Chain A
Amino acid sequence: MNHISARNAAPLARALLFVLALLLFASPGASIANDEGQTIPQDAEAPDSAEPVEGAPDDRDARMERLEKQNAELLKELRVLRKRVEKLEKPAMAAPGTEEHEAEEATFSKEQAEALEEIKERVELVESETEETKFSILSGLVNVSGYADAEFHFTDDHEEQSRFRIHHLSLFFKKEIQDRWKFFSEVEYEDAPLMEGDDDTALPTDLVEGHGKIFVEQMYIEYRPIIELDVRFGRFLTPAGIWNIYHYPPYVPTQTRPLIVRSVFPQVSDGMQLWNTLTMGGAVLDTHLYVSNGSGNPGKTDFNENKAVGARVNFAPGILDGFDIGGSYYGEKSNSGDRRHSYGAHLRARYGNLTLQGEFAGRKNDMGDGAVDYDNMGAYGQLSYDVGKWTLAGRYDWYDADDSMDDDEIFRYTGAINYHFAHNVVGKLEYDYNEFEDPLMENFHEVIAAIVIAIGDL
Chain B
Amino acid sequence: VKVALRQIPLIALVLAMLTAIGAVAAPKDDTIAIIVNRSSPVKELGEREIKQIYTNAILRWPEENTPIVIFDLSISDPVRRKFSNAVIGRSPEKVAEDWAHLKITNQAVNPPITLKSQRLIIKRVALKKGAIGYVAKRMIEKDDKVRIVLTIK
A residues with a Cβ closer than 8 A to B are 48, 51-54, 64, 128, 131, 145-147, 172, 174, 184, 218, 222, 227-228, 237, 245-246, 248, 250-251, 277, 279, 282-284, 316, 318, 321, 386, 420, 423-424, 454, 458
Contact = CB atoms under 8 A, between A and B. Distances in A.
B106 A174 contact: yes
B39 interface: no
B104 A423 contact: no
6 contacts: A51-B115, A218-B106, A227-B60, A250-B104, A283-B57, A318-B57
Contacts of A248: 101, 104-105
A423 B76 CA distance: 11
Contacts of B100: 250-251, 423-424, 454, 458
B19 interface: no
Nearest to A50: B113
4 closest A-B pairs (Cβ-Cβ)? A458-B100, A251-B101, A54-B74, A53-B114
Contacts of A318: 52, 57
B94 A282 contact: no
B63 interface: no
A277 B52 contact: no
Contacts of A316: 57
B57 A246 contact: no
B52 A48 contact: no
Interface of B is mostly: mixed
B6 to A, nearest CB: 48
Contact of B113 (A48, A277, A458): A48
Contacts of A423: 75, 93, 96-97, 100
A351 to B, nearest CB: 11
Interface string B82-104: 00000001000110110111011
A169 to B, nearest CB: 14
A386 B94 contact: yes
A52 B116 contact: yes
Nearest to B124: A131
Interface in B109-140: 109-111, 113-116, 123-124, 127
B69 interface: yes
Given A131-B124, A145-B104, A51 B59 contact: no
Of A54, A128, A172, A282, chain B has the most CB atoms within 10 Å of the CB of: A54
Contacts, number: 88
Given A423-B75, A458-B99, A51 B114 contact: yes
Given A54-B96, A245-B107, A279-B58, A321 B89 contact: yes
B78 interface: no
A284 B57 CA distance: 6
A253 to B, nearest CB: 12
Given A131-B123, A218-B106, A423-B97, 15 more contacts: A48-B113, A51-B113, A51-B115, A52-B115, A52-B116, A53-B113, A53-B114, A128-B127, A131-B124, A222-B106, A237-B105, A279-B58, A282-B52, A284-B57, A423-B96
A382 to B, nearest CB: 15
Contacts of A131: 123-124, 127
Interface of A is mostly: mixed
Of B52, B100, B111, B114, chain A has the most CB atoms within 10 Å of the CB of: B100
B126 to A, nearest CB: 9
B56 interface: yes
A423 B105 CA distance: 17
A129 to B, nearest CB: 10
B67 interface: yes
Contacts of A172: 104, 106
A52 B109 contact: no
A90 B22 CA distance: 45
A72 to B, nearest CB: 10
A282 B114 contact: no
A184 B106 contact: yes
A257 B122 CA distance: 43
B115 to A, nearest CB: 7
Interface in B3-42: none
A357 to B, nearest CB: 13
A283 B94 CA distance: 21
Contact of A458 (B58, B59, B103): B103
A228 B59 contact: yes
A321 B48 CA distance: 11
A143 B48 CA distance: 33
A289 to B, nearest CB: 15
A228 B60 CA distance: 10
Of A51, A64, A131, A420, chain B has the most CB atoms within 10 Å of the CB of: A51
Contacts of B94: 386
A458 B104 contact: yes
A392 to B, nearest CB: 15
A52 B99 contact: no
